[in-house]
């Protein structure tokens, strides 16, 4: 299923808690009986919550799937954009979701402080923070890890890992007790995924940061987790050499015999942001069709 900017996310718009209309078919959905495909149907797991979602670059971004899913569950969505290049797309999504969009470059402390001020002035608090940001120079996403430059490593670590610390620090006082923070990571953090290279090394740091932040903030009931997403075709992932082959291998070998989508990640993000997961913290939760659990792979025949 693909979703254009103008389309409803699942075809179901929550109207009230007792009745919803399937806007695709016009058919009524009976109370208490959500259709299997309509996970957003009138449940409102995030009603009243304010969610700051970083990392939307375009409609294919994982953060877009997360923002749409959270909005579908009643959250007020606050998006960020890194510069003019993506501002238009992000503002368009924010308008569609009835939320706001603020500039934020995580490599710039002043930008982070300005974001916190904007959120405080407009919303006064935050219940969910989604870190969906990474950057690695394209030349470091292929070849030998030992050719990575000092500057390339520092850049990757700053944007992809340290930024979770910086972002959390910037908004720490805005986070409500019991808030949920989540970061998006990848299996290449703990395993060797050829060409992922330094991206995997800094994802290992990101996952460690998740655990330490979970300890730091646990006394406020604030949870910090990572979602380890399977490969998804996005502007960032396509920078990894032979990325398309990764998709083919996963869909052939994963227990569920499929790849995952930003919508799949969004559903799990809703769970982690909701009160369904109030004792889940310091965890790395896989949304990868089970691929991470495979210890040996059958002969891989890409689906034709
Ligand atoms: O296969 C995949 N796509 C997977 C992605 C599998 C598992 C994990 N992930 C992770 C990525 O490593 C990243 O942490 O998910 C996160 C989101 O990535 P994405 O949705 O795949 O990629 P994309 O749509 O490109 O969004 C990442 C965005 C940047 O996009 P662009 O294309 O403009 O580089 O991260 C943002 C930016 O919007 N970003 C920044 N935001 C603030 N300040 C910065 C920055 N300095 N740098 C990048």
| Residue 39 CA: distances (Å) to CA of 69, 142, 199, 235, 263 | 9, 38, 32, 27, 11
Q: How far is the CA of 139 from the centre of ligand 1 (A)?
A: 17
77 and 64 belong to one structural domain: yes
Position 300 in a domain: no
For residue 60, the ligand 1 atom closest to its alpha carbon is 24
pLDDT of residue 303: 61
Estimate to the nearest angstrom the gap between the alpha carbon of 297 and the chain centroid: 28
14 and 62 belong to one structural domain: no
Any catalytic annotation for residue 196?
yes
pLDDT of residue 22: 37
135 and 235 belong to one structural domain: yes
163 and 135 belong to one structural domain: yes
Q: List residues near ligand 1 (CB under 6 A).
A: 55, 57, 61-63, 82, 86, 104-107, 132-135, 159, 184-186, 229, 231-232, 234-237
158 by Cβ neighbours in 10 Å (0-12 / 13-18 / 19+) ranks as middle
Reported as a pLDDT band with limits 50, 70 and 90, residue 301 is low
150 and 234 belong to one structural domain: yes
pLDDT of residue 298: 75
Task: Give the integer Cα–Cα distance in Å for 262 and 241.
Answer: 21
Indicate if the pLDDT at residue 15 is higher than 60. Answer: no
For residue 236, the ligand 1 atom closest to its alpha carbon is 25
Position 302 in a domain: no
- What is the number of domains present in the chain? 2
Contact 260, 222 (CB under 8 A): no
The tens digit of pLDDT for each residue in 53-84 reads: 999 999 999 999 999 999 999 999 999 999 99
159 and 74 belong to one structural domain: yes
Structure-block tokens of residue 45: 């797991």
Contact 223, 181 (CB under 8 A): yes
Percent of the chain with pLDDT over 90: 83
Q: How far is the CA of 78 from the centre of ligand 1 (A)?
A: 17
Position 299 in a domain: no
14 and 134 belong to one structural domain: no
Domain CATH code at residue 79: 3.40.50.720
Estimate to the nearest angstrom the gap between the alpha carbon of 286 and the chain centroid: 12
Mean pLDDT of 31-38: 45
91 by Cβ neighbours in 10 Å (0-12 / 13-18 / 19+) ranks as middle
Position 298 in a domain: no
Task: Give the integer Cα–Cα distance in Å for 170 and 149.
Answer: 29
Position 94 in a domain: yes
Please give the mean pLDDT across all residues of the chain: 88
Any catalytic annotation for residue 186?
yes
pLDDT of residue 20: 39
Task: Give the integer Cα–Cα distance in Å for 97 and 252.
Answer: 35
8 and 136 belong to one structural domain: no
Report the length, in residues, of the chain.
304
162 and 282 belong to one structural domain: yes
Which residue has a Cα nearest atom 16 of ligand 1? 132
Position 233 in a domain: yes
Position 178 in a domain: yes
Indicate if the pLDDT at residue 198 is higher than 70. Answer: yes
Which residue has a Cα nearest atom 41 of ligand 1? 82
Find the domain containing 54 and state its range.
Answer: 44-293
Among residues 41, 196, 212, 271, which one is catalytic? Answer: 196
| Residue 268 CA: distances (Å) to CA of 182, 214, 241 | 11, 18, 28
124 and 26 belong to one structural domain: no
31 and 77 belong to one structural domain: no
pTM of the model: 0.88
Among residues 9, 41, 81, 186, which one is catalytic? Answer: 186
Indicate if the pLDDT at residue 8 is higher than 70. Answer: no
pLDDT of residue 38: 53
Contacts of 238 (CB under 8 A, 6+ apart): none
Q: How far is the CA of 135 from the centre of ligand 1 (A)?
A: 7
Position 301 in a domain: no
Q: How far is the CA of 243 from the centre of ligand 1 (A)?
A: 15
247 and 285 belong to one structural domain: yes
Indicate if the pLDDT at residue 87 is higher than 50. Answer: yes
């Amino acid at each position: 299923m693909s979703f254009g900017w103008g389309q409803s996310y699942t075809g179901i718009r929550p109207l009230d808690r007792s009745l919803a209309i399937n806007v695709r078919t016009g058919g009524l959905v009976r109370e208490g009986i959500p259709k299997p495909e309509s996970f957003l149907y009138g449940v409102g797991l995030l009603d009243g919550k304010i969610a700051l979602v970083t990392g939307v670059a375009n409609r294919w971004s994982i953060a877009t799937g997360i923002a749409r899913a959270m909005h579908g569950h009643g959250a007020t969505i606050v998006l960020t954009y890194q510069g003019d290049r993506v501002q238009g797309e992000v503002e368009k999504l924010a308008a569609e979701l009835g939320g706001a969009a603020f500039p934020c470059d995580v490599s710039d402390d002043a930008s982070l402080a300005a974001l916190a001020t904007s959120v405080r002035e407009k919303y006064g608090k935050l219940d969910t923070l989604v870190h969906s940001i990474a950057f690695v120079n394209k030349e470091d996403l292929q070849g030998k890890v030992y050719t990575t430059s000092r500057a390339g490593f520092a850049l990757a670590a700053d944007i992809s890992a340290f930024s979770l610390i910086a972002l959390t620090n910037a908004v720490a006082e805005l986070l409500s007790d019991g808030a949920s923070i989540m970061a998006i990571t990848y299996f290449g953090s703990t395993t060797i995924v050829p060409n992922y290279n330094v991206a995997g090394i800094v994802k290992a740091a990101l996952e460690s940061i998740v655990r330490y932040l979970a300890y730091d903030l646990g006394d406020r009931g604030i949870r910090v987790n990572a979602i380890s997403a399977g490969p998804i075709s996005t502007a960032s992932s396509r920078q990894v050499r032979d990325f398309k082959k990764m998709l083919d291998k996963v869909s052939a070998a994963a227990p569920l015999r499929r790849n995952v989508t930003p919508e799949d990640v969004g559903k799990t993000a809703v769970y982690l942001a909701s009160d369904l997961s109030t004792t889940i913290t310091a965890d790395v939760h896989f949304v990868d069709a089970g691929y991470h659990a495979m210890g040996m792979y059958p002969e891989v025949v890409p689906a034709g």
